[in-house]
A and B are shown apart, each in its own frame.
Chain A
Amino acid sequence: MHNFFQFVIGGLGFGGIYAFAALGLVLIFKTSGVVNFAFGAMATVVTLTLWSLLNHAGLPFAAAWVLAMVIAMLIGGFTNGVLMRRIERSAVLVQIVLTLGLLILIEGLAGVLWGYGPKSIPQPLSGNPVNVASFLITPNDLFIIGLTVGVGLLLFVVFEWTRVGLAMRAIAADREVASLMGIRTNLYVTGSWALGTALSGIAAILVAPSLGLEPTMMDQVAVFAFAAAIVGGFGSLIGAVVGGFLIGVASNLIAAYVSTNLQLTLIFAVIVAVLYVRPDGLFGRQAVSRQ
């Protein structure tokens, strides 16, 4: 039993990473109604930029991280402000296809600019596992868990209790009516793309030390992030955080008790099961669609 809980705790670090990726997806989806399939490629470019800032500009880690976040917000804002806005009234499928085109394009550009050889960036915190209530956990995992919970709570507070959050919820409910109420919808949607890309960027920066930084690094993380968002209901920020931790723990348990090689397959099974049984996830509200 002690082993079981050790595996649960061991999955929380990756869970936090999936939670960040899912938070970025959900935030953008909530306001703009678009699932950004290019999020992984964008996040990878952010991390590759961080690598360049560390290795070529010689910046300290914290400063490079802050700069990388600024660049992430520029990438996200540009994507919505220049590209997605032009087709915001097209069919859902057209918007999906545009983000897929961006995924191919950005991954390709990253490969051309930075090459395909894996690079490494350091973990935010190094150090040996520490003993917490007889369970071992690395300082880096503790940092990730704390950051995830903190950022998740902050977003929740902003979304539920501030005017900015109110405006964003109004846009999520009905963009046209929100715009009639005097909300600057384009500004908020572009802002959520910027913030969402920064959140995905954090996920990529945190996962890069474990996976090896290369242009297609986030392709596999994407499946876990989508699974986390779906488990959480794809519209709930708290759901994204809880879903991320659940998927992280589940995949660590799968690796420990079933097989280290079937994680993607079993996570696919989780996606299928959730979509069959509870398409709105654990935290989602029943969606009503007129078509």
Chain B
Amino acid sequence: MSELSLSAARRGALVKSIRKLPLGLRMLAIVAVAIVAIVFPAFEGSDSFVMYTATQALVYGLAIVSLNLLVGFGGQISLGQAGFLAIGGYAAALLAIHVSGLPIPIEVLGAGAATAVIGFLLGLPTGRLRGHYLAILTLGFGVAIPEIALNWTSLTQGRTGLTVPPPRIGNTIFPTPTELYYFSLVVLVICLVAIFSILASSTGRAFAAVRDSEAAATAMGINVTATKVLLFTTSAFFAGVAGDLDAHLQGLVSPDSFPFSLSLFFFAAVVLGGLASVWGSLAGAVILAVIEAETSSSSGWEPVILGGAVVLLLLFLPRGLADFPYRAQQALRRWRGRKPRAAVPPSRAEVS
């Protein structure tokens, strides 16, 4: 097998080091994003399609960050992330339908936990598999889940799907688009805090160590198989929560809601945003949601734009959109620095 010849040592590193802005500028950007996210409904709240798209961006954001955990931070691969969303969505629907008066935090945790169990099982063989085999395994998983949902009619109602009631706390329900937006935003922020804590912990460093070199990680005393299984479990948990949010947003879960192309689009968004960049993934989610909203009427340009962007970015900007702030800052510096000097040396054209 050619993994022998083109061994990791001779190939380039998977994740190029992320070039960040200084801390102050980053904080400023985060505060700006937070303010926009919070006050956004005050301006657009009356337009339910815009609010739907914004909420979809939040849901995709969590799903894409969960995939980036696996791909960018862990060096693994999943072509079946939509399968995790499906499990989370069905779990949420079943909990909301069959357990009356279930507090929403318990429902969200339940959806995440149910998906995490499946993620654990899917992660078990990954100790022995990597690269292409893992991609094929997860691809099979992603196409099998909707088929199971379609045929397990006693649980899932088959093609009809399950109607999902709006989220509720106590006796208050949150059915309007603006309320759904804030509900999703709160859940997303809590998840992001959890994800950043995991990434900053020794577990997060173990993920990166396994990604960069399994042999070196083993030498450092890291249990590679256990780390990979934990990574799949964690990624599945957050994808399941995203599935829960998506179920409430759509009001319906059905086998058709989780096509293979959705997994592919998530993957495209991870690459667009930049591997191992949470903020990049969130940007990728906004782009995905907006492209989806803008192209839903016209015929089929969404995959052309996304696929074309992935191909071009990989060939020309392998760090993804996450590299843009740094590039912009550098360009600004060069522009400022060059301005006074530009007049002094004559350009080539003037000499000749």
Q: B-contacting residues of A (Cβ < 8 Å)?
A: 29-33, 35, 37, 83, 86-87, 89-94, 96-98, 100-109, 111-112, 115-116, 172-177, 216, 219-220, 222-223, 226-227, 230, 234-235, 259, 261-262, 264-265, 267-268, 271-272, 275-276, 279, 284-285, 287-291
Distance in Å from the Cβ of B296 to the closest Cβ of chain A? 14
Distance in Å from the Cβ of A237 to the closest Cβ of chain B? 14
Q: Which residue of A lies closest to B122 (CB)?
A: A272
Besides A96-B131, A288-B4, A290-B9, 18 other CB < 8 A contacts? A29-B2, A33-B6, A91-B8, A97-B310, A101-B268, A101-B308, A103-B264, A104-B261, A108-B306, A112-B300, A172-B2, A219-B143, A264-B140, A264-B144, A275-B137, A285-B1, A290-B4, A290-B8
Q: Which residue of A lies closest to B10 (CB)?
A: A89
What are 7 of the A-B contact pairs (CB < 8 Å)?
A30-B2, A91-B8, A92-B131, A96-B131, A101-B311, A287-B3, A290-B7
Pairwise interchain contact B1-A235, C-beta atoms closer than 8 A: yes
Q: What are the residues of chain B within 8 A of A267 when measuring CB–CB? A: 140
Distance in Å from the Cβ of A27 to the closest Cβ of chain B? 12
Q: What are the residues of chain B within 8 A of A288 when measuring CB–CB? A: 4
CA distance A112 to B295 in the complex (A): 12
Q: What are the residues of chain B within 8 A of A227 when measuring CB–CB? A: 140
Q: What are the residues of chain A within 8 A of B271 when measuring CB–CB? A: 97, 101
Pairwise interchain contact A91-B13, C-beta atoms closer than 8 A: yes
Q: A-contacting residues of B (Cβ < 8 Å)?
A: 1-14, 71, 75, 77, 79, 125, 128-133, 135-137, 139-141, 143-144, 147-148, 150-151, 213-215, 260-261, 264-265, 267-268, 271, 299-311, 314-315, 318
Pairwise interchain contact A90-B12, C-beta atoms closer than 8 A: yes
Pairwise interchain contact B304-A174, C-beta atoms closer than 8 A: no
With A92-B11, A264-B147 in contact, is A287–B1 under 8 Å at CB?
A: yes
Pairwise interchain contact A87-B260, C-beta atoms closer than 8 A: no
Pairwise interchain contact B143-A276, C-beta atoms closer than 8 A: no
With A104-B306, A226-B140, A290-B4 in contact, is A261–B260 under 8 Å at CB?
A: no
Q: What are the residues of chain B within 8 A of A108 when measuring CB–CB? A: 300-307
Q: What are the residues of chain B within 8 A of A287 when measuring CB–CB? A: 1, 3-4
With A33-B5, A235-B1, A289-B4 in contact, is A264–B143 under 8 Å at CB?
A: yes
Q: What are the residues of chain B within 8 A of A31 when measuring CB–CB? A: 2
Pairwise interchain contact A104-B265, C-beta atoms closer than 8 A: yes
Pairwise interchain contact A104-B77, C-beta atoms closer than 8 A: no
Distance in Å from the Cβ of B258 to the closest Cβ of chain A? 13
CA distance A96 to B7 in the complex (A): 16
Pairwise interchain contact B314-A87, C-beta atoms closer than 8 A: yes
Pairwise interchain contact A94-B304, C-beta atoms closer than 8 A: no
Contact of A83 among B2, B75, B215, B315 (CB under 8 A): B315
CA distance A220 to B304 in the complex (A): 20
Contact of A175 among B2, B77, B300 (CB under 8 A): B2
Q: What are the residues of chain A within 8 A of B307 when measuring CB–CB? A: 101-108
Q: Which residue of B lies closest to A216 (CB)?
A: B261
CA distance A250 to B192 in the complex (A): 44
Q: What are the residues of chain A within 8 A of B144 when measuring CB–CB? A: 264-265, 268
CA distance A279 to B128 in the complex (A): 8
With A104-B264, A175-B6, A265-B147 in contact, is A275–B11 under 8 Å at CB?
A: no
CA distance A234 to B144 in the complex (A): 22
With A90-B12, A93-B77, A112-B300 in contact, is A37–B135 under 8 Å at CB?
A: yes
Pairwise interchain contact A265-B148, C-beta atoms closer than 8 A: yes
With A268-B140, A279-B128, A291-B7 in contact, is A262–B147 under 8 Å at CB?
A: yes
Distance in Å from the Cβ of B113 to the closest Cβ of chain A? 22
Pairwise interchain contact B2-A100, C-beta atoms closer than 8 A: no
Q: What are the residues of chain A within 8 A of B310 when measuring CB–CB? A: 97-98, 100-101, 104-105
Pairwise interchain contact A105-B304, C-beta atoms closer than 8 A: yes
CA distance A109 to B150 in the complex (A): 29
Pairwise interchain contact A111-B7, C-beta atoms closer than 8 A: no
Q: What are the residues of chain A within 8 A of B141 when measuring CB–CB? A: 268
Contact of B12 among A91, A100, A105, A290 (CB under 8 A): A91
CA distance A37 to B265 in the complex (A): 14
Q: What are the residues of chain A within 8 A of B9 when measuring CB–CB? A: 290-291
Q: What are the residues of chain A within 8 A of B10 when measuring CB–CB? A: 89, 176
Q: Which residue of A lies closest to B311 (CB)?
A: A101
Contact of B300 among A37, A94, A116, A220 (CB under 8 A): A116
Among B1, B131, B271, B306, find the residue whose CB has the most chain A CB atoms closer than 10 A: B1
Among B135, B302, B309, find the residue whose CB has the most chain A CB atoms closer than 10 A: B135
Distance in Å from the Cβ of B303 to the closest Cβ of chain A? 3
Q: What are the residues of chain A within 8 A of B215 when measuring CB–CB? A: 290-291
CA distance A289 to B130 in the complex (A): 11
Pairwise interchain contact B314-A291, C-beta atoms closer than 8 A: no
Contact of B268 among A30, A100, A265 (CB under 8 A): A100
Q: What are the residues of chain B within 8 A of A234 when measuring CB–CB? A: 1, 132-133
Q: What are the residues of chain A within 8 A of B150 when measuring CB–CB? A: 261
| 10 nearest A-B pairs in the assembled complex, by CB-CB distance | A105-B307, A108-B303, A101-B310, A104-B307, A33-B2, A108-B304, A268-B140, A287-B1, A111-B300, A91-B14
Q: What are the residues of chain A within 8 A of B315 when measuring CB–CB? A: 83, 86-87, 98
CA distance A86 to B317 in the complex (A): 13
Q: Which residue of B lies closest to A233 (CB)?
A: B1
Distance in Å from the Cβ of B5 to the closest Cβ of chain A? 4
Distance in Å from the Cβ of B242 to the closest Cβ of chain A? 20
CA distance A230 to B4 in the complex (A): 18
Q: What are the residues of chain B within 8 A of A96 when measuring CB–CB? A: 77, 131-132, 135
Q: Which residue of A lies closest to B124 (CB)?
A: A276
CA distance A21 to B37 in the complex (A): 47
Pairwise interchain contact A175-B5, C-beta atoms closer than 8 A: yes
With A87-B314, A226-B139 in contact, is A174–B4 under 8 Å at CB?
A: yes
